[in-house]
Amino acid sequence: MPIITLETYINADKQTVFDLARSIDLHQISTKHTNEKAIAGRLSGLIELNETVTWQARHFGITQKLTSKITQFESPDFFVDEMLSGAFKSIKHEHRFLEHDNGTLMIDIFDYVSPLGILGRIADNMFLSSYLKKLLINRNSVIKEYAENQSQVNQ
């Protein structure tokens, strides 16, 4: 059961970073290379507690769908999204936000279980964990860019 933990310092206030991290629109910008789109549930704006979103994206040449739900939410300190359905056995993504050096430390704890038992664990070790980590790093760099440049997300 791999866990990816990332810390990203962002020179912006905690509320701004928190809101950008839960923006459906910014998520789609950060995953443009996978053609990720919200297709059901919350389709734009800021996702809230108990709301769901279904994403459709292309990974490894295969179009996939994943539905997640915000299961914990305390603005502007943290929120958690958990997979309800999708290719994985489970995904739990904790998003934490701490005031740090006049900015915000954004912490991701991405806990997932691959499908297919031993084959999934082999995939984790060979490529899947690094692929998912790169997706999260890219997403965080987009959040950082928008927050630090005070860019608005078109909705």
The stretches in the chain having pLDDT less than 50 are: 155
Sorted by where each starts, the structural domains of the chain and their CATH numbers stand as 3-148 (3.30.530.20)
State the pLDDT at residue 1: 72
State the pLDDT at residue 117: 83
Radius of gyration of the chain (CA): 15
- The predicted-structure confidence for 6-45, as pLDDT tens digits, reads as follows 999 999 999 999 999 999 999 999 999 999 999 999 999 9
CA end-to-end span of the chain:
36
8 Å CB contact between 2 and 11: no
Cis peptide before 76 (omega within 30 of 0): yes
